[in-house]
Structure 1
Amino acid sequence: MIRRRYLSRMFLGRLLAALLGLAALIQLLDLLDRASEVLHRGGLLDLVRYAGLRLPSVLGQMVPLAVLIAGMLTLRRLAMTLEMTALRAAGIPVRRVLVMLLPACAMAAVAQALLLGVVAPRTERALAAWWARTESRALVPDKKTQRVWLRAGSQIIGIDRVSLDGTQLQGVLLVPRSADALALARIEAESAEHTSAGWMLRGVRVAEPSGAVLARQALRPWPEGPPPAEILDVARPTDAQEPWWLLRALRREKAVDRGPAFYQTRLHTMAARLLGPFVMLLLAAVVAFDVPRRGSSMARSLLALSLGLGFMLLSGLLGALGEAGVMPAALAVWTAPILFAAIGGSLLIRFEEQ
């Protein structure tokens, strides 16, 4: 118990320092790139607001790398002070030291899940809303807004412009489809307004898929229209989403702008993130076998760092392929954790037997 507390305190202290250092570096680089535009949209306090709203996402993304660095520093410290040698001489192998660090690593995994699955989606939406509200004060306001495309139920919807609260739409195109995904009509509206009674289209023109105009209407109810909040989610997309948000999107219970493969991959990624810190700790284990001597080689440290960065790179690459539908979601997400866990385990066994 004493050994576990000692190792956990050492590991958590280095983890916190590495996490804050990495987050500060990323925040600084981001602010150097966006400071002028942020200041034109507001003032110094808005610069602080921008950095604060970005912080949960940055912290969550840096947790695996911080665990790798903290694990390397902790285990190298034990090796260089001969504490690891004493532990191994007492019959405590490196794998048991890693087991003692598992509770601290689990804390990091839970913190990452909460940051990226609960906190970051809210802060990113708040940042997107503030960014949209201050568009008119930007250095170069975006006058050429792209049409927003989404799918709600069986309808394909295109919108030229969305108001800040999502209740006013301009340039609406609706394409209702049959059960076998065939277009039934083309409905164009100059505008749409959401009231307590639902959506109302104005200046409507209904045409056949061939283009022949069938009718013109001044007003037309749109009961199938998605809620304004769902339209805003598509018009102002964020990188982080809650798991229940992804589940609703996958079941087509809300308006979406991506295919099922995207949401399946994101859900698998949320589950796989829980393993990321543990894989990083296992990859850092090779550093525990360094020995203190003059001119000590950094080969094992470089090996651990290379493996950790390779793990992050392969996870991102395969995840992108899964989101695009090129690979099955489960294969795209779980290949990297399983592969690098096997590599780390095999290296640990090999060094233990030397």
Structure 2
Amino acid sequence: MSKAARPPRFVLFRYLSGVLINRVLLCSAVLVGLLEILALLEQTTPILQRHLGIAGILTYAGMRLPFLLAGALPLSMLIGALFMLSQMTMASEMAILQASGLSVLGLFKRMLPAALLIGVVGVVMDDQVTPRSEQALAAWWNRTDPHPEKGHSFWFHEGQQVARVAYVADGGNMLSGLDIYSRDKKGLLQEVIHAESADYTHARGWVLHSIKRIQVQDHTAVQLSPEDQKNWATSLHPWDFIRLSAENPPLSSGTIIGMLRGHLPSDSSPGFLQAGLLERFLRPAAMLVLLLIAMPVIYIPPRTGARSWLPVWCLGAGLLFIVAQGLLRAMGNAGLLPPAVATIPGLIIFTLGAATVLLRNEAK
């Protein structure tokens, strides 16, 4: 009997998982397509002004694709689950499954692995694919910029040094207006170096040009003789400056951990980095919450069908969850909330809310 009972269970598991994954992929394709069109409407003119042509448009769209896909996954999970469960309910499939003894918990358990798999894919996209594609896109965009001097300046710290760069050019291989402030272990200023420019070669590393130096000795500033060239002893590479010049670039977990430990240069606060790392690895849990929020649509009355407002309420609750998580994360980024408070309470609150709705409907 046990051997005969196993095949239906796994058949149902494969069916539900396959349908859920297919619906989520379909929704992701539609959302990403719309986002790509909107992005290209904004960027096509600058691309053509740089004389990059159709190849430039396709390059931009291809490099932007991982970022858009990773951002669309939560909403795709919500809409895909609603679409799947609503179809099954209105086709009486859900009534047949419940009549055969399948509980709401059993239904959730059979869709849980697929939701976790989608969440893990989102983690991999956020952690490995998106940072590389966005960095390649930023380097390509900077390299093809005919007026890099219009770029914005930025600050960063590396070890005991604080530096400012006016702008980056040539895909990160050239820096302009570089100011380096060296401090001792107590944080007191020791030396200021200003270089008109710096360029990178694989043979020599970073070379500073047109250098002016000021040393601070016994609370007295001493200006040293100018130098034409000087090697800059730093562990930074061109791609590091491309990352630092971008506004809120996607970061891999390895990069975030290196910044938190002080091994890599950073222009972000520790709270911002910790919240981003925690939110990333809670992505599978967020997918489970979105699936749970979508599940009340299985209680659509048979006579109501497509006229029911239940899918709309579930969609609204899911969107509220996504917005609430974004607001809490923004407060964590601003340092108003600890990283754990900015990421975990939203998951717990909406899980309890969705579970309460399911239990009340089961009790009726």
Tell me, yes or no, whether TM beats 0.5.
yes
Counterpart among 205, 225, 238 of residue 213 in structure 2: 205
Q: Hey, what does 1:22 align to over in structure 2? A: 31
Matched, 1:36 2:42: no
Asked whether the 8 Å contact 2:151–2:168 carries over to 1, the reply is no
Distance 1:269 1:324 in 2: 15
Q: How many residues are matched?
A: 350
Matched, 1:100 2:87: no
Q: CA deviation at 1:299?
A: 2.3
In structure 1, runs of 5+ residues without a counterpart are: none
Note closer, same or farther for the CA distance 1:334–1:92 as it changes in structure 2 (3 Å cut): same
Q: Hey, what does 2:7 align to over in structure 1? A: none
Q: CA deviation at 1:193?
A: 4.3
Distance 1:280 1:290 in 2: 18
Indicate the SS of the match to 1:204. strand
Distance 2:317 2:304 in 1: 26
Counterpart among 225, 243, 264 of residue 216 in structure 1: 225
Distance 1:107 1:313 in 2: 23
Counterpart among 159, 167, 185 of residue 161 in structure 1: 167
Asked whether the 8 Å contact 2:148–2:167 carries over to 1, the reply is no
> How is 1:304-343 mapped onto 2 (pairs within 5 angstroms)?
304-343=314-353
Counterpart among 80, 92, 101 of residue 91 in structure 1: 101
Distance 2:284 2:46 in 1: 36
Matched, 1:129 2:139: yes
Q: Hey, what does 1:9 align to over in structure 2? A: 18
Distance 1:242 1:225 in 2: 18
Matched, 1:265 2:265: no
Q: Hey, what does 2:297 align to over in structure 1? A: 287
Deviations 1:77-118 (A, max 9, x none): 221122222222222112211111112212211221122211
Distance 2:249 2:172 in 1: 20
Q: CA deviation at 1:342?
A: 1.6
With 187-196 and 80-89 compared, the bigger mean Cα shift is at 187-196
Asked whether the 8 Å contact 1:53–1:127 carries over to 2, the reply is yes
Note closer, same or farther for the CA distance 1:54–1:199 as it changes in structure 2 (3 Å cut): closer
Deviations 1:57-77 (A, max 9, x none): 111111111111111111112
Q: CA deviation at 1:155?
A: 0.7
With 5-14 and 309-318 compared, the bigger mean Cα shift is at 5-14
Q: CA deviation at 1:221?
A: 4.7
Counterpart among 41, 51, 59 of residue 49 in structure 1: 59
Deviations 1:219-259 (A, max 9, x none): 55543563443223212456322111111111110111112
Normalised by the length of structure 2, the TM-score is 0.89
In structure 2, runs of 5+ residues without a counterpart are: 1-9
Q: Hey, what does 2:187 align to over in structure 1? A: 181
Asked whether the 8 Å contact 2:293–2:317 carries over to 1, the reply is yes
Deviations 1:16-58 (A, max 9, x none): 2111111111111111222212222311121111111111111
Query: Runs of at least 4 residues of structure 1 off by over 6 A?
Result: none
Asked whether the 8 Å contact 1:124–1:238 carries over to 2, the reply is no
Note closer, same or farther for the CA distance 1:281–1:270 as it changes in structure 2 (3 Å cut): same
Distance 1:295 1:194 in 2: 65
Distance 2:253 2:224 in 1: 43
Aligned residues: CA RMSD: 2.2
> How is 1:245-260 mapped onto 2 (pairs within 5 angstroms)?
245-260=255-270
Q: Give the residue type in structure 1 aligned to 2:341.
A: L
Distance 1:22 1:167 in 2: 36
Asked whether the 8 Å contact 2:142–2:168 carries over to 1, the reply is no
Matched, 1:298 2:308: yes
